[in-house]
Amino acid sequence: MSLSLLATTTTLSSPTISGNPLRKSTTNTPRSVRLSNRTPYTSCELNKQTQEPNGAIDRRNVLLGLGGIYGATATIANNAIGAPMEPPDLAKCHPATDNADKRKINCCPPYSAATIVDFKPPSASEPLRVRKAAHKYNKDDVAKFEAAIAAMKALPAHDPWSFGQQATIHCTFCNGAFDQVGSKNLLQIHGSWIFHPWHRYYLYFWERILGKLIGDDTFAIPFWNWDTPEGMYIPEMYKKSGSPLEDTNRNKDHYTSVIDYKYSLGDPNPTPAQIDEVVTRNLAELDSIFKETLQLPALFMGKAQRGGEAAANAPGRNESLHGVMHTWVGPVTTPYHDMGNFATAGRDPLFFGHHGNVDRMWDIYSKLRGQKVEFRDPDYLESSFIFYDENRQVVNVKVKDCPTPESLRYSYSPEPLAWTTIRRKYKRLQDEAQKRSAGDSLRLKPVSEFGSQPRKLTEPVQVLVQRPKTSRTKDEKADSVEVLFIDGIQVTGATARFDIYVTKPIEGHVGPHNGEFAGSYVKVAHANHTHKYDASLELGISTLLEEIDAESSQKLVVTLLPRNGDVTVGGVQIRLVDVDDDDL
């Protein structure tokens, strides 16, 4: 599908299903056989299905894992029983520890019990709320938005609708306020496939409460359009002194600077001469995110997070990029409040504009895939959360009920997608960089494999990684995605970032140029009960290999470039992942 088709917003019909909840090896199984196992029922019926056709075991009954950090094939993991995520027990909220300053933080909601009712999606007869780009707001738009926020801020502090309590919701579900039901593992909605649907609901209810406060059932919140050159600046309406939209804990040095997606805490702002290059690289990263993830939703959405399991801490590329905006807006000093710390991010009105665009990126991604459900696994679709709605009722919502913005009666105003036409300009930029380093061609140095021991990223780590298969055919590429796995990531601080680059080796050596950017690992400060943080990162590289003419290379050089934080990595490998997989 042409990416340019997404320049307009279209209300599509009910989503169809893709993917298969039972993991299958990508080797020795003809594609025609795998495809014959697909079932064409719709998402509304998924909760009624407990088995795959032909008697196959439902994925909830057998979870598959990796045979150790360095294993290359899937194995049965102790017949573990999966389950959807469930709302927490409200009576068992507890304080967490802010990992930025080690202070206790209270994320508990203003009620410890509630009568909870099932959420009913809005009727199709409701007015459609249309969210507009923040940088295109006129004077009247800004005035209405300011009035709504002012009304929310004027409510008593203990009111669940109040600005402070609405901000606390993000802290409640993202920062260790609750254990999961029946488990000692913390409830955490970041770093997994529930990141996007949880935040979609969060903004949905916040928007409707604001509309209720000003008596406008068409009220829609803005989105920070940071994916277009004109929107790559903090929107003006959030910077006005004394405005309800102002937050004094932002990094004021970034108020006039274009955002750099490569930003790490403390980096200088791009100079005027660098703006065009920065914007080009930003757009190229967006282009890469969509191209490398369309076949395998877990690369965009994040890995599976099942009920009772420890936090996956394995974000998709859209979530990783979203972390950059958090650090860009937030302060550069500990404890990084407000936007720079998940425990306090909701205190900044810009948080909701930022997440409006995160949600919009998911909407674009969904439309590019024909609005097929990203995961048909019941553990995803039946996962549920609770929110305080615009009728002052605690409601239980499920992932399956928010497949599109239109299903919740809102949409995004159409905006040009500048990243869909940036590749040629970016290629010229890369060619120029290669030419500048051509004089250093004699500075080749040997590169070896990662080895069996974890490695600390105190300096760039360059490793030689074996590919599972070279020169794959078109059918093989349609069948499976080549994925770079960064396993065993351990962070012992509040924030961290490292970037990943891929290039071809030169007879077992590597030159001075790191190669093509493949993605980043970004950790934003948040509250938890431990300072040890284990994570993983998975990056699709099928398109990247085509662009650097490396499809015939048996091995690749992978560079891990540390940018910020105390980070150790356990292993680096490349595997083929079946496009039918719901998880990695």
Q: Report whether 387 contacts 394 (CB < 8 A).
A: yes
The beta-strand segments (E) located in 452-532 are 455-456, 461-466, 480-491, 496-503, 509-510, 516-523, 527-528
HSE-CB for 33 with a 13 A CA cutoff = 7
> What amino acid positions are annotated as catalytic residues?
170, 190, 199, 322, 326, 342, 355
Collect all residues with Cβ–Cβ distance below 8 Å to 368 and sequence separation of at least 6: 1, 3, 6, 290, 294
HSE-CB for 305 with a 13 A CA cutoff = 30
One-letter amino acid of 329: V
Tell me which residue of 254, 260, 226, 221 sits closest to 239, measured CA to CA.
Answer: 254
Q: Report whether 174 contacts 379 (CB < 8 A).
A: no
Q: Which long-range contacts (CB under 8 A, 24 or more apart) does 50-55 make?
A: 52/20, 52/21, 52/22
Question: What does the alpha-carbon distance between residue 574 and residue 300 come to, in Å, rounded to a whole number?
Answer: 18
Collect all residues with Cβ–Cβ distance below 8 Å to 491 and sequence separation of at least 6: 523, 533, 535, 565, 566, 567
Question: What does the alpha-carbon distance between residue 166 and residue 203 come to, in Å, rounded to a whole number?
Answer: 10
H runs (alpha helix) in 214-338: 275-293, 297-301, 317-329
Q: Report whether 207 contacts 127 (CB < 8 A).
A: no
Task: Map tokens 């007015």 to a residue.
Answer: 127
Q: At what angle do helices 317-329 and 195-213 cross, to 10 degrees?
A: 50
Which two structure tokens, joined as six digits, stand for 199?
Answer: 């935040």
